[in-house]
Chains A and B, each alone.
Chain A
């Protein structure tokens, strides 16, 4: 019985295709090991040469050699590393060589040399999925799962992969300091220049209170408008972006399209959207609102649809079983589970939007932020201080309100 169905179902695809994909999934781990090792080695190389160049020659240059030389060296070192020891990739992906006792140096050399022709092995997989790569079969050193063999504990500095890991960490730290030009000296000598700024901040220009409050209201409503429009668009779209609700070919296609658009919208920073809309509809509160709207829509689609994907499938199933139609399944089985989380996410997004809307002023997106940056630019720190005070108060107040409300909802 079983055989009949399996035979019927599995032999739909051409045999060599199944063989090949089975073979590929078998050697996938070894391939990833090579990639990991290559990446680690190239990374080490770049950072080391950056540090040397910066420190000794005072040039900021990642490497003085052509990339293909680096690549060849890295490939050779990786091959050597994998043939003679436990490379960092083998360690991370849990592979080892066997046998570890009773092996001869010659075996390792053979493995190292034959490793170079292993790409040709891909063709072999076309008709024999369980073939063993030549560098393993000829040398007799097989790649096996780490869990299959016991490892004798050794101190970390005698293991090549852990030495490499430590080197990567140290070099990353060193190079990061050089690249970001960490300068503790400037941090201390520049401090007195801060005095006028501090003074301005503690004695704000109260004459600007009225103007500031007016712009603050603009800011809060920019955020509110953006949130409301975003909710109107994101609530229906979130259903299309939930994998568990989108069945069939058409459903899957819609799911992928909505997800992709939302991801692209989200990956562009809100500042970039502000610049786009300033070009489009001129600088001002409207362009800032549009930028916030795009950002908020994308964010809410993601938050909403992830929530939809994690609902309990039981109630919708029960509604289907009573003979309910699709609309009733959504209204009685899905919506009661998502109302409160949706409200909570919306409040949270409004909170974010208020904070973002002050930043958007930086590029001319209107609201109180725009005034803040204008005063900063003409070194009028007392006026800037007034704006900062107002921003702090409103951001704090809205943060407090939204977190209180959200706590009630959960």
Chain B
């Protein structure tokens, strides 16, 4: 099958502090994969995900999405590419004072008429779609409450519903469960798995815990100091590899 996402020689240097956050990263992702990116904090996971949809400008390298050069796109073309890539975040990134439904509808912003959205007018189909997606993540009864009245797990599900509104072909999740407790983590990960298996959405997620990565990933990419130190199946990570990725002192922590 053809590669959906191709990353070539991606390099990011943060001007502030001359930090080499990504160092010549190349990999590709096939449609329908569930790719997990692991690594210590500071290894460059967030930077990598944000360079793919250019929330952060890469310093060098290329990103191709469905054969289109994302790194060369600009203006409207970039926005059209971005709406095909849903994204969810460690800190949920919801507008806390707005209602859950408004937050979810924000996922349609790439599609709707900008002038109508400026006065918060959304097409009827979009509102129905929003309610349907809220139902799908199990919080349809909360549609009109303020986002900050929800628990962490519920807020992340709003984030997932917002991403679903984009009708994405690729879903990127930046440590989606790091701010959640273990039980809630699994319920959130299950939704990602569901999107991956039922809707055929490609998923790239960074995760802190290797146990979660093994449980959900079809492939694992390990970063260390901005370089890829491992790429392969979850089962291939043995004790030696683990130490290489996480350092000599690391211990296994299980999240069930």
Nearest-CB residue, chain B, relative to A328: B109
A residues within 8 A CB of B111? 323
B82 touches A322 (CB 8 A): yes
Query: Contact flags (1/0) for A1-27 with B, using CB distance below 8 Å?
Result: 110011001100000000000000000
B93 touches A314 (CB 8 A): yes
Taken together as a complex, chains A and B put the C-alpha atoms of A9 and B159 apart, in Å, by 38
Contact of A321 among B11, B24, B87 (CB under 8 A): B87
Query: Contact flags (1/0) for B80-102 with A, using CB distance below 8 Å?
Result: 11110111010111111110001
Tell me the smallest distance from the CB of B5 to a CB of chain A, in Å.
15
Q: Determine whether A264 belongs to the interface, using a CB cutoff of 8 Å to chain B.
A: no
Q: Determine whether B106 belongs to the interface, using a CB cutoff of 8 Å to chain A.
A: yes
Tell me the smallest distance from the CB of A3 to a CB of chain B, in Å.
10
B residues within 8 A CB of A332? 95, 98, 102, 106, 109, 117
A residues within 8 A CB of B94? 314-315, 318
A residues within 8 A CB of B117? 328, 331-332
Of the listed stretches A88-96, A103-111, A272-280, A333-341, name the one at the interface; the rest are far from the partner chain.
A333-341
A residues within 8 A CB of B80? 323
A318 touches B162 (CB 8 A): yes
Interface residues of A in 306-359 (CB under 8 A from B): 312, 314-315, 317-325, 327-328, 331-333, 336-337, 339-340
A337 touches B97 (CB 8 A): yes
Taken together as a complex, chains A and B put the C-alpha atoms of A339 and B85 apart, in Å, by 30
A residues within 8 A CB of B11? 5
Contact of A314 among B89, B106, B107 (CB under 8 A): B89
B82 touches A314 (CB 8 A): no
A2 touches B109 (CB 8 A): no
Tell me the smallest distance from the CB of A322 to a CB of chain B, in Å.
5
Taken together as a complex, chains A and B put the C-alpha atoms of A259 and B174 apart, in Å, by 36
Contact of A2 among B20, B92, B97, B107 (CB under 8 A): B20
Nearest-CB residue, chain A, relative to B98: A336
Taken together as a complex, chains A and B put the C-alpha atoms of A2 and B92 apart, in Å, by 33
Count the A residues whose beta carbon is within 8 Å of the partner chain — how many? 27
Taken together as a complex, chains A and B put the C-alpha atoms of A9 and B60 apart, in Å, by 13
B residues within 8 A CB of A1? 23-24, 227
How many B residues touch the partner, as a band? 35 or more
Main SS of the interface on chain B?
A: mixed
Taken together as a complex, chains A and B put the C-alpha atoms of A34 and B94 apart, in Å, by 51
A residues within 8 A CB of B83? 322-323
Taken together as a complex, chains A and B put the C-alpha atoms of A139 and B106 apart, in Å, by 69
Interface residues of B in 155-204 (CB under 8 A from A): 159, 162, 165-166
Q: Determine whether B53 belongs to the interface, using a CB cutoff of 8 Å to chain A.
A: yes
Tell me the smallest distance from the CB of B126 to a CB of chain A, in Å.
12
B82 touches A2 (CB 8 A): no
B18 touches A10 (CB 8 A): yes
B residues within 8 A CB of A324? 79, 106, 109-110
Contact of B89 among A318, A322, A325 (CB under 8 A): A318
B106 touches A319 (CB 8 A): yes
Taken together as a complex, chains A and B put the C-alpha atoms of A328 and B95 apart, in Å, by 13
B23 touches A2 (CB 8 A): yes
Contact of A325 among B85, B102, B114 (CB under 8 A): B114
Taken together as a complex, chains A and B put the C-alpha atoms of A322 and B168 apart, in Å, by 10
A337 touches B85 (CB 8 A): no
In the assembled complex, 18 residue pairs joining A and B whose CB atoms fall closer than 8 Å, in A order, are A1-B227, A5-B23, A314-B92, A315-B94, A317-B93, A318-B162, A321-B53, A322-B86, A322-B107, A322-B108, A323-B110, A324-B79, A324-B106, A328-B114, A328-B118, A331-B117, A333-B95, A336-B98
Binding site for A on B (CB under 8 A): 11, 13, 18, 20, 23-24, 53, 55, 79-83, 85-87, 89, 91-98, 102, 106-111, 114, 117-118, 159, 162, 165-166, 227
**12 other A-B residue contacts (CB within 8 Å) besides A323-B166, A336-B95:** A2-B20, A312-B93, A317-B55, A318-B87, A318-B89, A321-B82, A321-B86, A323-B83, A323-B111, A324-B79, A327-B118, A337-B95
